[in-house]
Structure 1
Amino acid sequence: VHTDKKAMKFKMLLDHAKTLRFHTGNLVSRSRLKKKCPGSPTEELQDCIQATLSDWISTTNVFLMQDFPDTLDCFVPQETDVITPEEREEVKVSAKLFLCESVQSSIRDAVEMACQTLAVSQLDSVIIAPPGPLENDSQTLAHLQPAWEELETLVKSQQIAAIGTSDLDKDLLEQLYNWAQVKPSSNQVNLASCCVMPPDLTAFAKEFDIQLLTHNDPKELMSAGTFQETMQDGLQDGLQDLNVADWRLEWVLRYNVIVKSRGIIKSKGYLVSARKASP
């Protein structure tokens, strides 16, 4: 009976909520993830969301919750990655932000949530992966500008120290560089699309001191269908029949905390925001 009541309360919570936020905690120390070596960034994210949702449901005492908030924060308190003031100087906090929808407020929300989660006032670098026009690969400067302007605002308010881009060819990187007030400090290149860095891109990046990095993230980190399936898998204890069809991924932020002197990853995790589509 207790389990039924708990399931009913969780259903009411999720029915009422408009936004779901996931914080996976430090993946470097998390032993409960199913796949020790996930095959792809998408698989890793799936595994994280599922484990976080499942852990949150099993460890949260819903009967102590007085009201039904519009935003539900799904995390396990002992898994959080707070950086102490003493160690802040010794670590570099970098993030990659995947925008699943073209909503400018998402960028500010994601950066603020990352600062809050890690207890820092500033992220050292943020790379943006804007929502791609998936039907064709051609991003344009007009497509990038709104997101870049939002990032520039966060640099000016000192919430981010340096900003970078992802998957820009030489022409688009040059257009962005010439237009932007805050210049890109890095550009990520997907090694699946080119085994060797294009010489024109390398020459331009070298001339303007832009760091070229490599990555293996897919163009779409997670489809709407995969996200709903993942949520379904994380719901248990009598919640499997909950309708998740209205939920959409808004953004995903993956962060790394690196010990500068040793170059090792101290912690890594995901922050995820999903919202319920309006009926």
Structure 2
Amino acid sequence: MTRIVLSTGNIVTAGPSIIRKPGTSRSNLELTNSLRSNFQAAQQDYAASPTSSNGNELHVQNNGHQVNGNGRPDIDAWTATEDSVLYVPRIDWAAAGLQEGRAQYEITLKLFFLPSALVEKRREYIDEALQLVMKELQIEHIDLLIVSFPGISFEGDCEWQADKINATMGNDDEEVTTWSALESLYEQGKVGRLGIAEFGTEKLQRFIERVKVRPAVDQINTKDCCSVPPPLVKLAKSEGIELLTHGDCTDILPSGTLRELLGHGAQGAGVLADDEHAQNGLQGNLIPEWVVKYTAFVNYRGVIENKGYFAGAELVKV
């Protein structure tokens, strides 16, 4: 069994981006494209194998690492293993951190628990994701942590139908149990505010009656139902919960997508073995577990300075 952590690095590449209202479409393209781009950039740091005068590729050492026959550097050239975790790509922690003092930023995390992951390991996922972001930004606390549970969406022909369907989604007991781990972070001062995603009126009402620390934010997507249901607006207002919208994909990293990203296809990173490259890559069943999106917003300038993703997965040998 191998733990794998994937990262995009800072995807704000052309200077800080201006804050804009969320888009209307939900997609995981930002995540997948950013991961793919970061993989390729890391591989390019170890230039492709040179060719001989007749055009044949030479298998030579490059920066001390063997280049394989398809032009990619060996896996250990651009990835790193630390504390039994494989980082894809390797991360230069020395270059991490924000440009200004911590007080200048509003830092938000959104943690997605994926459907293929074990519910009983969610506390571990929370700790792992939070520690990675804190290490990447070199901070000791975040301002807002929003959690997205699997199997919950806010979709329907109208806002009333979406709200009604939403009430039957997810698993209340599992969500409340997971929330207790987040409450611990809040009580320790590591998280300033807690939030949830895709909770309609009935589901939100049941939830706040069972938790100790009530969510400060409920983030929903209204693309398919036009507007926020009035009962939800009323409940949120009475409970002091801020309603936000988003454009995130509910199942942000399916197993097939992750395998394609790490496989030997034209746009894959060549980390996982396949039938044609059985001896060139890692073998096993790949299980996506969580994704965290982080954003560092510079308060006084109204811009995003740092934005990126981490993703955790398990490779289980068969």
Asked if TM exceeds 0.5, the reply is yes
Q: What does residue 11 of structure 2 align with?
A: 27
Give a deviation string over 1:59-115, Cα, whole Å, max 9, x none: 3767598x965311224539965125x521010100100111222211111111111
Instruction: Output the aligned Cα RMSD.
Output: 3.1
Give a deviation string over 1:203-239, Cα, whole Å, max 9, x none: 1111111110001222211211111112223325998
User: In structure 1, how many angstroms separate the alpha carbons of the residues matched to 2:132 and 2:216?
Assistant: 23
After TM superposition, give the deviation of residue 261 of structure 1 in Å: 2.0
Which of 265, 269, 272 is the aligned partner of 1:235?
269
> Does structure 2 conserve the Cα–Cα contact (< 8 Å) formed by 1:99 and 1:130?
yes
Where structure 1 has 5 or more consecutive residues not aligned to the other structure, the ranges are 1-16, 32-36
Say if 2:250 is the partner of 1:211: no
Specify the SS of the correspondent of 1:188. strand
Say if 2:265 is the partner of 1:246: no
User: In structure 1, how many angstroms separate the alpha carbons of the residues matched to 2:11 and 2:254?
Assistant: 22
Counterparts in 2 of 1:170 and 1:184: CA distance versus 1, 3 Å: same
Which of 76, 86, 98 is the aligned partner of 1:72?
86
> Does structure 2 conserve the Cα–Cα contact (< 8 Å) formed by 1:54 and 1:236?
no
Looking at secondary structure, tell me which structure has more helix per residue: 1
After TM superposition, give the deviation of residue 176 of structure 1 in Å: 1.5
Find the structure with the greater CA-based Rg. 2
Q: What does residue 233 of structure 2 align with?
A: 202
**TM-score, normalized by length of structure 2?**
0.71
Which of 130, 137, 150 is the aligned partner of 2:149?
130
Specify the SS of the correspondent of 2:35. helix
**TM-score, normalized by length of structure 1?**
0.80
Where structure 2 has 5 or more consecutive residues not aligned to the other structure, the ranges are 16-22, 47-62, 66-75, 154-164
Specify the SS of the correspondent of 1:179. coil
> Does structure 2 conserve the Cα–Cα contact (< 8 Å) formed by 1:126 and 1:160?
yes
After TM superposition, give the deviation of residue 51 of structure 1 in Å: 2.0
Counterparts in 2 of 1:237 and 1:126: CA distance versus 1, 3 Å: closer
Letter of the aligned partner of 1:107 in structure 2?
Answer: I
Which of 119, 141, 151 is the aligned partner of 2:138?
119
> Does structure 2 conserve the Cα–Cα contact (< 8 Å) formed by 1:205 and 1:212?
yes
> Does structure 2 conserve the Cα–Cα contact (< 8 Å) formed by 1:25 and 1:75?
no
After TM superposition, give the deviation of residue 153 of structure 1 in Å: 1.2
Q: What does residue 97 of structure 1 align with?
A: 111
Deviates more, 1:243-252 or 1:170-179: 243-252
Say if 2:9 is the partner of 1:18: no
Q: What does residue 9 of structure 1 align with?
A: none
Q: Percent identity?
A: 23
User: In structure 1, how many angstroms separate the alpha carbons of the residues matched to 2:64 and 2:255?
Assistant: 28
Q: What does residue 49 of structure 2 align with?
A: none
